[in-house]
């Protein structure tokens, strides 16, 4: 089969990897360098310094060669011991995978199963923590933003549940598709391990797992007995002190991260978060104008970084995605696991603006219609335009 000749821009509207800004791409075009050289450590320390406000922490941030999943594993193996009980909820593909990893690593997983579209069950967590008089639960895991369903959970509420129960369990948070796109307050929320990756809100290619680590978690790492090798926190302590990696780092990605962080801080984190909220509001307005629903069970749970759109029963979401890719050089996110064929996802995080979201909406309308959905052309675009038209003017970098 002859592949079609493609012209123009490849439209990437998946929730990660996200669009890499041209300035970030150029910054990665560097010669290889000595990662033990005298200037490299200072360069990495600057990255760690500027990542801390993005995590909302004054504690330590570790850069781990790998992905967000690598940071998941590093968090677990350094701070917990085989047979430890952990409390988790399963309400989407990524919370499911995290629970599987915990079980595979030998933890006893106390699991709360929920509909895919629900958020972390704060009240149920509070009940179970309150009943755990012997402190058997050693950690509570929260998927802050479930990328598969477009749902954001209440991390602060889980912290309140822990505090109200006078419970000493550590709080683990997956912020892979939230950190850098939404407010994240590691210290204020009492998060002990916060996980993200370089390829979403931080606007870089995949290659780095990034982990926020509290003092409490570092203390736990001294006595935890789970086997570890590559991910040992003790080896990464030199990074926090001197900026050097215990293993060979992906240096081009680090140079891209430098520029990405400069962009985030030049825009200002409050403005970054407001932009994501505004863009997401426009996308959700479009979905409502189509007469469709999002996967999130309520508006209060709706994510500002990704929207999972439920298609009508007679429409296969995989067809929507196929048409976008083959006809319009466009990638939408697929429905994962039990949501396959039922939803498609529009990622709206990272290096993104109103025009890009309007493009996603306009293309999605055509794909939906060709796949058999009764959607009026321009309806979603007009609804989103009504949101964006009254949004605050974007400040220019020169101002």
HEC profile of the chain: CCCCCCCCCCEEECCCCCCCCHHHHHHCCCCCCCCCCCCHHHHHHHHHHHHHHHHCCCCEEEEEEECHHHHHHHHHHHHCCCCCEEEEEECCHHHHHHHHHHHHCCCEEEEEECCCCCCCCHHHHHHHHHHCCCCCEEEEEEECEECCCCEECCHHHHHHHHHHCCCCCEEEEECCCCECCECCCCCCCCCCEEEEECCCCCCCCCEEEEEEECHHHHHHHCCCCCCCCCCCHHHHHHHHHHCCCCCCCCHHHHHHHHHHHHHHHHHCHHHHHHHHHHHHHHHHHHHHHCCCEECCCCHHHECCCEEEEECCCCCCHHHHHHHHHHHHCEEEEECCHHHCCCEEEEECCCCCCHHHHHHHHHHHHHHHHHCCCCCCCCHHHHHHHHHHHCCCCCCCCCC
What is the per-residue pLDDT for 42?
A: 93
* The pLDDT of residue 398 is above 70: no
Fold agreement between 23-265 and 268-389: no
* The pLDDT of residue 55 is above 60: yes
| Nearest alpha-carbon partner for 203 in 258, 153, 279, 152 | 258
220 contacts 170 by C-beta, under 8 angstroms:
yes
Mean of pLDDT values over 83-91: 98
pLDDT tens digits for range 167-195? 999 999 999 999 999 999 999 999 999 99
What is the per-residue pLDDT for 1?
A: 52
The CATH class for the domain spanning 268-389 reads: alpha beta
pLDDT tens digits for range 326-362? 999 999 999 999 999 999 999 999 999 999 999 999 9
* The pLDDT of residue 393 is above 70: no
Domain 23-265, CATH number (from 3.90.870.10, 3.40.640.10, 3.30.379.10, 3.40.1010.10) = 3.40.640.10
| Average pLDDT over all residues of the chain | 95
Question: What angle is formed at CA 119 by the lines to CA 356 and CA 344, rounded to 5 degrees?
Answer: 35
pLDDT tier, 6 (very low <50, low <70, confident <90, very high otherwise): confident
Domain boundaries, the chain: 23-265, 268-389
What is the per-residue pLDDT for 397?
A: 40
Residue 74 backbone class (left: φ over 0; alpha: ψ -120 to 50; beta: rest)? alpha
Question: What angle is formed at CA 350 by the lines to CA 347 and CA 352, rounded to 5 degrees?
Answer: 80
* The pLDDT of residue 53 is above 80: yes
* The pLDDT of residue 394 is above 60: no
Mean of pLDDT values over 6-21: 93
């Amino acid at each position: 089969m002859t592949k079609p000749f493609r012209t123009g821009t490849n439209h990437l509207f998946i929730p990660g990897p996200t669009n890499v800004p041209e300035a970030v791409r150029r910054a990665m075009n560097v010669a290889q360098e000595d990662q033990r050289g005298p200037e490299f450590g200072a360069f990495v320390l600057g990255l760690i310094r500027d990542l801390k406000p993005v995590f909302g922490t004054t504690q330590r941030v570790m850069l781990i060669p790998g992905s967000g999943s690598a940071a998941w594993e590093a968090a677990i193996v350094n701070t917990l011991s085989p047979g430890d009980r952990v409390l988790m909820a399963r309400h989407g593909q990524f919370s499911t995978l995290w629970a599987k990893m915990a079980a595979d690593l030998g933890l006893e997983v106390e699991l709360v199963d929920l509909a895919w579209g629900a958020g972390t069950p704060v009240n149920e967590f509070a009940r179970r923590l309150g009943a755990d008089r012997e402190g058997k639960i050693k950690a509570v895991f929260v998927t802050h933003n479930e990328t598969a369903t477009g749902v954001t959970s209440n991390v602060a509420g889980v912290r309140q549940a822990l505090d109200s129960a006078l419970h000493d369990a550590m709080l683990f948070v997956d912020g892979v598709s939230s950190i850098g796109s939404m407010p994240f307050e590691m210290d204020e929320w009492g998060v002990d391990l916060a996980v993200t990756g370089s390829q979403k809100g931080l606007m870089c290619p995949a290659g780095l797992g990034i982990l926020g680590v509290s003092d409490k978690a570092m203390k736990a790492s001294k006595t935890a007995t789970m086997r570890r090798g590559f991910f040992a926190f003790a080896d990464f302590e030199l990074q926090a002190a001197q900026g050097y990696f215990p293993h060979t780092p992906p240096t081009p990605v680090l140079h891209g991260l430098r520029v990405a962080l400069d962009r985030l801080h030049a825009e200002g984190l409050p403005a970054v978060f407001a932009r994501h909220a505004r863009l997401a509001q426009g996308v959700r307005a479009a979905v409502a104008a189509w007469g469709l629903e999002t996967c999130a069970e309520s508006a209060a749970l709706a994510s500002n970084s990704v929207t999972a759109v439920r298609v009508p029963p007679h429409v296969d979401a995989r067809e929507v995605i196929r048409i976008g890719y083959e006809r319009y050089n466009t990638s939408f996110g697929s429905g994962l696991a039990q949501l396959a064929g039922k939803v498609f996802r529009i990622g709206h995080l990272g290096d993104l603006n109103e025009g890009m979201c309007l493009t996603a909406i306009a293309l999605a309308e055509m794909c939906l219609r060709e796949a058999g959905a009764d959607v009026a052309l321009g309806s979603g675009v007009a609804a989103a335009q009504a949101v964006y038209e009254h949004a605050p003017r974007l400040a220019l970098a020169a101002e």
